[in-house]
Amino acid sequence: MSWFNRLRIVLLTGAFVAAATVLIVARDAASGIDAVRERGDLVVAIRQGPSSYYLSNFGPDGFEYELAEGFARELGVRLTVLPVATSREALDALASGTADLAVGQALQPELEKQDFALSLPVQSITQMVVCNKPGKGQSAVAGFADAIARHTLFITAGSHHARQLEGLQAANPALTWEAIDSTSEENLLGLVHEEKAGCAVIDANEWEFHRHLFPDLVAAAELPGPTYFGWIQARRSDRSLSKAANAYLARRQANGGITALRDQHFAHLQSLTSIDSKHFYQAIRARLPRYTDAFRREALRNGIDWRLLAAVAYQESMWDPAAQSPTGVQGLMQLTLDTALQLGIDDRTDPLASIRGGARYLRQILDTLPESIPEADRTWMALAAYNAGIAHVLDARALTRKRGGNPDNWTEVRANLALLKQPEWYSQTRYGYARGATQAIIYVRHVRRYYDLLVLASNSSNNRMMLAMSNLGGSTAN
C-alpha cells in the first residue's frame, strides 16, 4: 500500500487528528532535556567535512563533533550523529523531529522567522571566493566586485551561501551564481580547477583544509562581512534543551574551551605555504610510489596508520633515503645510530630497513606513553617524542599536571613542553632543559598537516592520476 493510500485511510477513519496530536506531543517532548535523558542519546545533525565531522583513524572526529560530544557528556547521554551534506538537510531534520540540534550552522536571522531557535555564536567564519590563479597575460582577481564582474560564482545547492548571495544581490547587480546539486566543497573546487566553473564560494575553514589539494587555486576575494556559526534547534514549547545548550556554549567560551578546541583542530593548518604543498605533491608523484608498499606493510605490523608513518618520513627526509642531518641522523626515517642499533637496523640508508625501524620506534613510543592518554592526543605526543625524545614529553606531562592542567591533553602538554627551555620550569623536571622543545612542537604541526593531506588525497576524487601513480587509492588505515 502506498504512503498516500495509508494517509487517506487515516483521514477517512477520523484518526488523523489524534495521530497528529500524538506526533506533536512527541516532538515537543523530544526537544526537552528530560526526554533526551530518558532516551539516553542526543541526536545531532552535523554536516560532514574535515572542519566539522568525519571518521578518522582514531574514530569520529572534528571540531563540531567534539563540541557537541562535550554537551552530550554534560547531559549524561551518548551522542548520536546524523550526518548531513548541506545546511538545508540539517534544518529539515530539525523540522521533522529527526534531530534535536543542528550544529555548525550559519546563524542567519531569517531562520528565527521560520521557527528555529539560534544559539550563541560559536565561530565567525569568512566566506572565500576561490578562483584559478591567473594565467600568462591575465590579471588577478582584485576583490569581490572584480570577481563577480568577471565570473559566475558556484555554490553547493542547499548551502547557506545562497541566502548570503541573495542578501548581497541588491547592492551588487552584477552578482550571479549557480548552485550545484549533490556536491562537496572538494568537488566544487575541482570544477573550478578543471575550469568547468568560474569561481567557488566556500567557508574559509573548509578552504584551509582543501587548499593544498589545489595549489593552482587561490582565495581571490571574500564575501562582505563575516558569517556567524552556531547551533540551531526547532522552536518547541519545551525550551530546556536550547537553554542548556546556550549555557554550555557560554561556559566553554568563557573558560577558553572553544578557543582551545579550535586551536586543536585548526592551528596546524597554517603550517605550510603553497610552495610547500607543491613540493609535497611533486614528491607524492615522484618518490612516494617507491615506498608505499613498505609503509603499508610496516604500519600494518605495528598497528599504525600508514599515512601517518609516511607523513613522519616526509617531514624527516622528504622521502629521500640519502638524507643526513648535521647531527648525524640518517635515512628515510632519520634514525640516530643508537636508535637504529637498538632496533636491529644495520644500514640506516636502506629505505626499507629505515621504514621498518621508524615504524617500530613509533610503536615503542606509543606503548610507553600512559594508557590514560586518549587518541588523537596520544599520537601527537608520540610524534613530539619521536622528535624530542620521550623523556622531555614525560617531563612536559608532569609539568602540566603540576600546574593544574590535563597531562593527557596534547594542547595543554604542548604549552608546557615549550616551557622546558626556561630555567624556572625545566629546573623543576627530571630530565631538565629541552633544546628541541620548540622544534618538536613545529614538527608535530607539520606532520599533522602532511597526514591530513595524505588522508584527503587518499579519499580525493579530484587527484585520480596522482593517486593511481602513488598507489594511494582507498581509505583503509593500513
How confident is the prediction for the chain on average, in pLDDT?
84
Q: Quick one: CATH architecture of 31-123+229-267?
A: 3-Layer(aba) Sandwich (3.40)
- Kindly state the cell numbers that stand for 265: 583542530
Cell representation of residue 273 = 605555504
pLDDT of amino acid 408: 97
User: For 274-470, CATH number?
Assistant: 1.10.530.10
Query: CB neighbours of 53 closer than 8 A, spacing ≥ 6?
Result: 46, 47, 60, 61, 62, 64, 65, 81, 83, 104
Quickly list H helices, 58-152: 63-75, 87-96, 110-113, 144-150
Domain with CATH 3.40.190.10 in the chain: 31-123+229-267, 127-225
What number is the average pLDDT over the span 325-352? 89
For the chain, give the percent of residues with pLDDT over 70: 87
User: One of 206, 298, 316, 412 is an active-site residue; which one?
Assistant: 316
Using the structure block, give the residue that is written with the C-alpha cell 602538554.
413
Which of these ranges, 5-9, 135-139, 202-206, 325-329, has the smallest mean pLDDT? 5-9
Do 104 and 46 form a contact (C-beta atoms < 8 A)? yes
Mean pLDDT of 165-181: 88
283 preceded by a cis bond (ω within 30 of 0): no
Active site residue 412: no
Please give the full DSSP string across 184-241, using - where no structure is assigned: -HHHHHHHHHTTSSSEEEEEHHHHHHHGGG-TTEEEEEE-SS-EEEEEEEE--S--HH
pLDDT at 478 over 50: no
CB 244 within 8 A of CB 119: no
- Of 338-347, 359-368, 404-413, which range is least confident? 338-347
Q: What are phi and psi of 236, to 5 degrees?
A: -120, 175
Place of cell 594508557: 371
**Band of residue 25 on the pLDDT scale cut at 50, 70, 90:** very low
* H/E segment holding residue 54: strand 54-56
Distance, in Å, from the CA atom of 54 to the CA atom of 373, rounded to the nearest integer, reads: 21
pLDDT of residue 360 exceeding 60, the answer is yes
Task: For residues 382 and 329, give the distance between their C-alpha atoms in angstroms, rounded to a whole number.
Answer: 19
pLDDT tens-digit series, residues 374-389: 998 999 999 999 999 9
Q: Contact 129/222 with Cβ under 8 angstroms?
A: yes
The contacts of residue 290 (CB under 8 Å, 6+ apart) are 319, 351
Buried b (16+ CB within 10 A) or exposed e, 193-210: beeebbbbbbbbbbbbbb
The per-residue pLDDT for 275 is 64
Which part of the chain is CATH 1.10.530.10? 274-470
Q: Domain 127-225 sits in which CATH superfamily?
A: Periplasmic binding protein-like II (3.40.190.10)
- Taking each continuous run of H as one helix and of E as one strand, the counts in the chain are 23, 13
Ranked by mean pLDDT, the top range of 124-138, 268-282, 321-335, 349-363 is 349-363
Residue 6 has pLDDT above 50, yes or no: no
Which of the residue ranges 13-17, 91-95, 255-259, 270-274 would you say has the lowest mean pLDDT?
13-17
What length is written for the chain? 478
pLDDT category, 194, cuts 50, 70, 90? confident
- Say how far apart CA 80 and CA 41 lie, in whole Å: 6
Task: For 318-344, give the DSSP string.
Answer: TT-TT-B-TTS-BTTTTB-HHHHHHTT
User: Can you give the pLDDT at residue 166?
Assistant: 87
pLDDT digits (tens, 9 = 90+) for 301-318: 999 999 999 999 999 999
Confidence of residue 468 (pLDDT cuts 50, 70, 90): very low
Closest to 165 in 3D by CA, of 212, 225, 123, 121: 225
375: which DSSP letter?
A: T
